[in-house]
Homo-oligomer: A and B are copies of this chain.
Amino acid sequence: MERIEQFLESRNIRITAIRLLVYKFLAEKKVAVALGDIENAFEKVDRTTLYRTVKTFEENDIVHQIDDGTGIAKYALCEAGCHCDIKTDLHLHFHCSHCNETVCFTDRKIPQIKVPQGFVAENVNLVVKGLCDKCSCI
């Protein structure tokens, strides 16, 4: 827990109980979580607070937002050294249509995409949908 405190302080984020708990929650989850998941985990805490907590994390490159096509934004902790930079930190996400979980494949980089003349690519989002390893063998 102290490591988390140090980490947040290094990002100039004020330490609060909620922020520590939310960070811990995200760190323990292996998959990307929606705001609703966090709300369910902390029922006593106001929605808005959790919303703003995650937003603060996002603004400081602690989490990155994932659009997995469900229409609900999900969040996952960035890897160490991640600055959510377009060129280096892109990876693809996998959304399981059965259990509805979204995981990051941080080791699978997105292949270079060529766009037509005149277009400027700044960001790439690649989501593969299907069955995850847990659901595919059912």
Taking beta carbons and an 8 Å cutoff, which residues of A are in contact with B? 67, 69, 71, 73, 92, 94, 97, 105, 108, 111, 113-133, 136-137
Contacts and interface: CB of A to CB of B under 8 A. Distances in A.
Contacts of A105: 115-116
Contact of A132 (B73, B114, B119, B132): B119
A125 B115 contact: no
Contacts of A108: 113-115
Q: How many copies does the complex hold?
A: 2
A111 B121 CA distance: 17
Given A114-B108, A126-B124, A129-B124, A119 B92 contact: no
A127 B130 contact: no
A133 B117 contact: yes
Given A108-B115, A124-B126, 9 more contacts: A67-B71, A69-B125, A71-B73, A94-B121, A116-B133, A120-B130, A122-B131, A123-B128, A125-B127
